[in-house]
């Protein structure tokens, strides 16, 4: 049974429909970005103002350990968490929608930036940062890749616990992709949580008391997806390893 070929007019009509659908999706994405940016802006200014007032109140009390000073301190900490949430919302939208600036660079350039950024915190915590000796050229968004690895290292420092002593960065070049990893020998999480933590606003129950927005790993996941790769985590006998892969076909 022969199938009828589409006429030129039918093909043009379908192409026009696809074009219209693409425009609709672009408009929806733009509206989403504007909506999030508006909320973030509306939250930011009053939060900063409230935090400033709380800090001023705390400084005025003669007894820094008194009940009034403690309440002011709690308000200040809540505002600090809100400011972090606003910043992470903006980063999350950027990770989803902002055009990727794909460029060629050496992976050691990113590792050097990370070393300089984290040296103060690593020294305070007495944590060793171990980097790969090998180097190879990468084609990706340097900014987004650095941000992803920054999230992984920050997570290790924030949630690794008091026994954290090592953070190890790994880089592997494969035929069709690059895979980067960040291992830490601190607290580990379950295999189930290794999947859940990459979703928006999801945090492990055991870390509820540690400040965070629950968007850091979701940003890494979006970065990986936009680079044709994936992001995942794997618990080890000691600690946990976080991975991000990026395609070579960008």
Q: What's the Cα-to-Cα distance from 233 to each of 221, 222, 224, 240, rounded to whole Å?
A: 11, 15, 13, 7
Contact yes or no for 172/241 (Cβ under 8 A)? no
How far apart, in whole angstroms, are the C-alpha atoms of residue 165 and residue 214?
24
pTM over 0.85: no
Domain extent listing, the chain: 8-97, 102-247
pLDDT tens across 56-98, in order?
Answer: 777 777 666 777 777 777 777 777 766 766 676 666 666 565 6
> At 137, phi and psi to the nearest 5?
-75, 145
- Segment (H or E) for 40: helix 8-60
**102-247 has which fold?**
Heat Shock Protein 90 (3.30.565)
Q: What's the Cα-to-Cα distance from 183 to each of 137, 235, 241, 250, rounded to whole Å?
A: 22, 9, 4, 26
What is the widest separation between alpha-carbon atoms in the chain? 92
> At 74, phi and psi to the nearest 5?
-65, -40
Contact yes or no for 115/129 (Cβ under 8 A)? yes
Tokens matching residue 47: 């939060």
Q: 135-144 burial, b if ≥16 CB within 10 A, otherwise e?
A: eeebbbbbeb
Residue 130: predicted pLDDT: 95
**Which of 31-35, 46-50, 68-72, 213-217 bottoms out in mean pLDDT, i.e. has the lowest?**
31-35
Tokens matching residue 141: 């968004």
How far apart, in whole angstroms, are the C-alpha atoms of residue 213 and residue 202?
9
Q: Which residues pair with 169 in a beta bridge?
A: 182
Q: How far apart are the first and last CA of the chain?
A: 41
How far apart, in whole angstroms, are the C-alpha atoms of residue 242 and residue 167?
11
Q: Treating both helix axes as pointing N-terminal to C-terminal, what angle do 142-159 and 216-226 enclose, rounded to 10 degrees? A: 150
What SS3 class is residue 134? Answer: coil
pLDDT tens across 146-192, in order?
Answer: 989 998 999 999 899 899 999 999 999 899 999 999 999 999 888 88
What SS3 class is residue 160? Answer: coil
Residue 189: predicted pLDDT: 86
Asked whether residue 193 carries a pLDDT value surpassing 80, the answer given is yes
Which is more confident, 33 or 100? 100
């Amino acid at each position: 049974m022969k199938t009828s070929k589409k006429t030129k007019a039918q093909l043009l009509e379908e192409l026009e429909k696809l074009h219209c659908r693409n425009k609709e999706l672009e408009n929806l994405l733009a509206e989403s970005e504007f909506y999030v940016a508006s909320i973030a802006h509306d939250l930011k200014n009053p939060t900063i103002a409230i935090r400033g007032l709380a800090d001023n109140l705390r400084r005025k009390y003669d007894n820094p350990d008194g009940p009034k000073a403690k309440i002011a301190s709690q308000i200040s900490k809540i505002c600090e968490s809100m400011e972090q949430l606003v910043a992470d919302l903006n980063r999350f939208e950027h990770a989803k929608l902002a055009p990727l600036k794909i460029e060629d660079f050496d992976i050691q350039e990113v590792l050097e930036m990370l070393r300089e950024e984290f040296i103060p915190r690593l020294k305070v915590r007495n944590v060793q940062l171990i980097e790969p000796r090998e180097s190879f050229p990468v084609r990706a968004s340097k900014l987004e890749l650095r941000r992803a690895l920054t999230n992984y290292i920050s997570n290790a420092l924030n949630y690794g616990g008091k026994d954290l002593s090592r953070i190890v960065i790994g880089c592997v070049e494969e035929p069709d992709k690059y895979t980067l990893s960040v291992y830490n020998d601190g607290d580990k999480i379950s295999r189930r949580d290794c999947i859940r933590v990459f979703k928006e606003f999801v945090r492990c129950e055991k870390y509820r008391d540690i400040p965070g927005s629950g968007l850091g790993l979701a940003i890494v996941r979006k970065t990986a997806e936009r680079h044709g790769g994936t992001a995942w985590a794997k618990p080890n006998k000691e600690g946990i390893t976080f991975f991000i892969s990026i395609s070579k076909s960008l």
